[in-house]
Amino acid sequence: MDVQLLHMIEGAKKAEGTTVIIDVFRAFSLECYLAARGAERILPVGSKEKAYAMREEHPEYLLVGERHGVILPGFDYGNSPSQTEQADLAGKTIVHTTSAGTQGVANALHADEVLTGSLVNARAVARYIRKKGCEKVSLVCMGLEGKEDAPEDVLCGRYIKGILEGRELDMEKELERLREDPTVQRFFDRENQVFPEADYWMCTDVDKFDFVLRVSRLEEDVFEVHRTDV
């Protein structure tokens, strides 16, 4: 099995084979929580304009997402697992757009199959890839707004790669180091309302979920994720 680590939007453009678009803080952690809470459909889109247009056509859709971490005007929720925790999602269709994760999905044009990836379902992702017997795997660490590396995404990529190659990381030590990284401190700044501390703990609850989210393209810039238990 050929497993490569790629980075950011440029990495998504180069991805081939079975491709995992990784966004730990917070897009694809959030999508796992949304799926677990009973959302009927989750539709990632690249552009906010597309999200607004879909709401115009389907007023019952929920809009979830951000730019620069901040909830978009007119959206129902930001890109936050904790702030959507009490939402009634049963039977709901959610349109999701973010600065990094959904941009990676939109740019993975050469992939044979696209999965989303996060720490909360990393082992499930590795198990799915192993069961399929994939020959080529691209792990794309989306980073900060798809423009610079983020330690949590690189860690997730290394964790999945290690499992696939029979090497286990010491995740307790890895998470201790992650917690001290300067880029992570925004979650522990009491003045910062955009990144709640609860989101950090929810997004680093390693291997919480035993399912993967597979991505299919519905039309240009519109995708759907499908839960598959593994």
Half-sphere exposure of 50 (CA within 13 A, CB side): 20
Inside any domain, residue 229: no
The residue range of the domain holding 170 is 2-224
Q: What pLDDT is recorded for position 193?
A: 86
Q: Roughly what angle, to the nearest 10 degrees, separates helices 151-164 and 171-180?
A: 170
pLDDT band for position 146 (50/70/90)? confident
Q: Within 10 Å of residue 158's Cβ, how many Cβ atoms?
A: 17
Average pLDDT over residues 16-28: 97
For the stretch 89-123, pLDDT in tens is 999 999 999 988 999 999 999 999 999 999 999 99
- The CATH number of the domain holding residue 61 is 3.90.1560.10
Inside any domain, residue 54: yes
Inside any domain, residue 76: yes
pTM, two decimal places: 0.95
Query: Considering its fold, how many domains does the chain have in total?
Result: 1
Inside any domain, residue 150: yes
Whole-angstrom distance, CA of residue 163 vs CA of residue 57: 43
The answer to whether 66 and 78 have CB atoms below 8 angstroms apart is yes
Q: What pLDDT is recorded for position 190?
A: 87
Q: What pLDDT is recorded for position 151?
A: 98
The answer to whether 62 and 92 have CB atoms below 8 angstroms apart is yes
pLDDT of 174 strictly over 90: yes
Q: What pLDDT is recorded for position 147?
A: 86
Inside any domain, residue 77: yes
Share of the chain above pLDDT 90, in %: 94
Average pLDDT over residues 144-160: 95
Whole-angstrom distance, CA of residue 8 vs CA of residue 192: 25
Q: What pLDDT is recorded for position 205?
A: 98
Inside any domain, residue 230: no
Q: Which long-range contacts (CB under 8 A, 24 or more apart) does 177-186 make?
A: 177/151, 178/151, 178/152, 178/204, 181/151, 183/144, 183/150, 183/151, 184/151, 184/152
For the stretch 57-93, pLDDT in tens is 999 999 999 999 999 999 999 999 999 999 999 999 9
The answer to whether 32 and 202 have CB atoms below 8 angstroms apart is no
Inside any domain, residue 178: yes
